[in-house]
Structure 1
């Protein structure tokens, strides 16, 4: 994470500072997403150069994220959703401060391009925290996920060129699914290329991630902390590089196949293990097509626990 703040001149729209629905527009310089993505989602710019919209309740949030054109939607406080809300293209959703939260349901990034979600806590969703499908150029960064009914962050159905960075998941069973079905190879082969880096899998049970078809998928410099069932699973012709991670109190850090899914390929290198199993590897993985800086695995725990999750940018 570069830790750089990007600025752009645009129109700022405040939608009811007290939830009143009163709109006021001023031209100003406003802060967009903090830093910039590395990995497969590096081309993602979200709502850069567009309108800034401050939201305070569910109706304002829904209207803002579905508005066309480039925009940054700034979430203030808790947004209580009763259903999954679809997000339009060229959107940044940015939590303000350390208390911004999406509660009760989650968001769908579906059939769109160029979306950033940053600095939010997703809690108690009746479905997924975030669902990504048929989407490209997505960056999910510095969020927290807790207690979803299904997955914390599911990526599926031909989605591609995505980075998942500096997030924390806790009180989660099915954490991060990549590829939803063994029978979807016609859509997913050659897609589902995702980078997962500097995430904190904090007592999650499984799917950290569980991968079908994507090759390569890059899982690097993450902290796996007391993971229950398993860490990473590579299945159905997937190719996963597991690199420079810190595994602690995790009996099954990574393996091939899962449930009724056939084995994929998995290469592991430069990982650090504390009271953990050694993992299962096999096959070969396509080369990583981008440059990146790999932290020493032994230092990943301290850096990730200090910085991963909402409110820690």
Structure 2
């Protein structure tokens, strides 16, 4: 099994669909208990997202803007139907502990020159049932991250999303030199996401432990010889289990490091690889403090393709 046993009793899986790190240490409830508003212009969306107090914001239509929206604490941002969403801006969740933010059921487009979603120095965020996409460009720097988690952000769950046609997908830990801030934090769960033509960083992790990557579906991660799905670096600790890899250049890096980053630790079990490079393993990782049920890898592809993305709640 290659997983160290930690102390303490596992916490029960919470109701309502939230599984993993965002359910720990008080959980993530977003705007529950507050008012509900519907927005149909980007200006109204920005005003409501940046306002104080618990609130559920229903996004009606595809809203296009610029710059950065600084999302305030205790917010649920949820799309109406299957075709509502946000484009042209960074949804920024920063300097809040807890942030207590849920982003759900949106179509989110990559931001030219920036991140689509940025979580920085913030805790308790749930990114769920969104469809995130951009247009693959020859220049990997045309867009930045689709979902970047940095500066000791913590207690994050990323679940049931479709992430498609993007280069720098999801960074966890932004710099090899930031271990002093990041160690002991950057605890993230990724489950039941569909990563399609995401050519790297799905995720790329520095320092975080334990980052839990289970029951995801990876397809066509093969743009060039350097394409990969998952990387554990700078002594990060990842548990990678029950994932399906199809046409993936390299499923996982760990013991070899990657680029200029030192190796990390990675435990892999019960994954399925078809026409894909190996999932490199290295060392042991700390036990998870929560209970969960990993789906049999034989049903993951069907579950994820049927249930992930906007419009599938």
- Which bracket does the TM-score occupy, shorter chain normalised? 0.7 to 0.9
Asked if 2 retains the 8 angstrom alpha-carbon contact of 1:106 and 1:122, the reply is: no
Classify the secondary structure of the residue corresponding to 1:59: helix
- Aligned counterparts, 1:288-303, within 5 A: 288-303=288-303
Q: Does the 8 A contact of 1:118 with 1:142 survive in 2?
A: yes
Say which structure, 1 or 2, has more relative contact order (CA 8 Å, 6+ apart). Answer: 2
2:190 is equivalent to residue 209 of structure 1: no
**What residue is the counterpart of 1:95 in the other structure?**
79
1:168-187 matched pairs, under 5 angstroms: 168-187=162-181
User: Aligned runs of 1:130-209 on 2, under 5 Å?
Assistant: 130-147=117-134, 149-209=143-203
2:110–2:146 Cα contact (<8 Å) kept:
no
Correspondences of 1:279-290 after superposition (within 5 Å): 279-290=279-290
Correspondent of 1:223 among 199, 217, 222: 217
Q: Deviations over 1:205-235 (max 9, x none)?
A: 0001000000100000000111120010000
Which shifted more, 72-81 or 104-113?
104-113
Aligned with 2:231 (options 222, 230, 233): 233
18, 22, 26: which one aligns with 1:37: 18
Matches within 5 A, 1:46-85: 46-85=30-69
- Distance in 1 separating the partners of 2:266 and 2:108: 30
Distance in 1 of aligned mates of 2:278 and 2:168: 22
TM-score normalised to structure 2 length: 0.87
Task: Provide the residue aligned with 2:139 in structure 1.
Answer: none
Specify which of 90, 111, 116 is matched with residue 125 of structure 1. Answer: 111
**More off after superposition, 105-114 vs 85-94:** 105-114
Q: Which runs of 5+ in 2 are unaligned?
A: 1-14, 136-142
Question: Which runs of 5 or more residues in structure 1 are unaligned?
Answer: 1-33
4+ residue stretches of structure 1 with deviation over 3 A? Answer: none
Shift of 1:124: 3.9
- For residues 245 and 124 of structure 1, what CA distance do their matches in structure 2 show? 25
Asked if residue 264 in structure 1 is aligned to residue 264 in structure 2, the reply is yes
Cα distance in 1 for partners of 2:276, 2:110 equals 30
Structure 1 residue 275 corresponds to structure 2 residue 271: no
Q: Distance in 1 between matches of 2:86 and 2:122?
A: 21
Secondary structure of the corresponding residue to residue 166 of structure 2: coil
TM-score, normalization by structure 1:
0.87
